[in-house]
Amino acid sequence: MLLKRILKKTLKVKRHKVVKVDYSDNQLNFYLDVHKRRRLPCGTCQTLAPQRDRLPQRQIKHVPLWGIPVMLHYRPVRVSCPKCGGPRVEDIPFTSGKSRMTNGLVWTLSSMAKLLPWQTVSQMFNVSWNTVQSAVKQAVDYGMKHRDTGKVIYIGIDEVSRRKGHTYMTVVYDLEEKRILWSGQGRKKETLEAFFKEHGNSLKGSLKAVCCDMWQSYIDVVKEHVDEDVVLVFDKFHIVQHLNQAVDEVRKQEAITLKKDNPELLKKTRYIWLKNPENLTDKQRARLGYLEKLNLKVNRAYLLKESFRDFWDYRYPAAAKKYLAKWFWWATHSRLEPLRDFAWMLRKHQQGIINYFKCRVTNGVTEGMNNKVKTIVKRCYGFRTIPTLQLALYHCLGKLPEPENMHKFV
């Protein structure tokens, strides 16, 4: 009696009843039937209709109970639907379509697949890997259908390496909700255009800013598809990354120049020049103090890097633009080619950089999410196709809505 009550409570059925329970073949077997003369919902249009006849018995796998496999045995009913005009299979409340799993098991598998590799989940529940994939796909399809993308204010666009070599995915994030909105293969113009074709209409009216790096393909697509009042912001972290690369290039060039006279002088100093002063160790700080007295080119590059940090402290676009012009003059007259190239890159993309001071949007959230993406990619190293990897990304990082379900683990 207790087992019957537990099953009815977890399945949430009103028109069906448990008529028999037994234990055989190392599993619990529940035999279900429908209350006679009850009108049942049509599986096509949900209209309540009289019962007509029965289909052959189905075996439907349910969530294990105390580690014991559970199997439901049920003969679906066909109803005479007045709206559809003919016999239709009833809408079975505890499973979807012709699935051989209950909805409870589907959501149990999908929730566990957020935490563990799919192969591990399949072994835990004694199902195939394809069954876990099917459960995740069902969860993602439901979530994508019911999620709200009409209130997205800021989006971040970035690329993520999928495997060794230049194999990339373009990923679009909702920066406020910290969730993934969309992903596509490659980082070409056509890739991002696919996103705006799919979500462009839902973003209109709510989108205020787009944050991305200075990849020209992204810039062209964003300008083409967003409204004129939407602000395009170039990501602060990518700009700082370019500056660090320029400083490091100066160090490399000077190390080659000093190779004959003093080969040890700049050895193992890379992070001394790239770190912020407050993050240096005592040993690094002492060595920096010594190197600063030698009038090295890399020291001039380091001072320019540190002075550029003041740029991000400005509150108003006009003041920031004035300081950027001053810094541009310093860099272009520094006689350091990498810094000069970086300064001209800033001049080329000046408006997108100054736009940062209008809405203070960065891809900091994106960089954090990218680390999670890399963790999922590493965990899913056996995935051979892009669609399967995208399923895992949407499932784990999409914050997709789920139906109310008793069997929930995350």
Place of tokens 């935490």: 115
Q: Give the mean model confidence (pLDDT) for residues 294-304.
A: 96
User: Per-residue pLDDT tens for 341-357?
Assistant: 999 999 999 999 999 99
The model's pLDDT over 228-249, given as tens digits with 9 standing for 90+, comes to 999 999 999 999 999 999 999 9
pLDDT band at 365; cut points 50, 70, 90: confident
Tens-place pLDDT, residues 43-53: 889 999 999 99
- What CATH architecture applies to the domain 154-235+362-397? 2-Layer Sandwich (3.30)
Summarised one tens digit per residue, pLDDT across range 149-196 is: 878 999 999 988 877 666 788 999 999 999 999 999 988 899 999 999
Least confident segment among 9-13, 78-82, 305-309, 387-391: 9-13
Nearest-angstrom CA–CA distance, 184 and 221:
14
Report the distance separating Cα 395 and Cα 373, nearest Å: 11
User: Which band of pLDDT confidence, cut at 50, 70 and 90, is reported for residue 406?
Assistant: low
For the chain, domain boundaries: 1-96, 154-235+362-397, 236-359
**Is the pLDDT assigned to residue 297 strictly greater than 60?**
yes
Please choose, from the candidates 156, 148, 159, the residue with its C-alpha nearest in 3D space to the C-alpha of residue 209: 156
Q: Which of 70-74, 138-142, 217-221, 259-263 has the lowest mean pLDDT?
A: 259-263
- pTM metric for this prediction: 0.84
Residue 407 has pLDDT above 90, yes or no: no
pLDDT at 256: 94
Please state, for a pLDDT cut of 70, what percent of the chain lies above it: 97
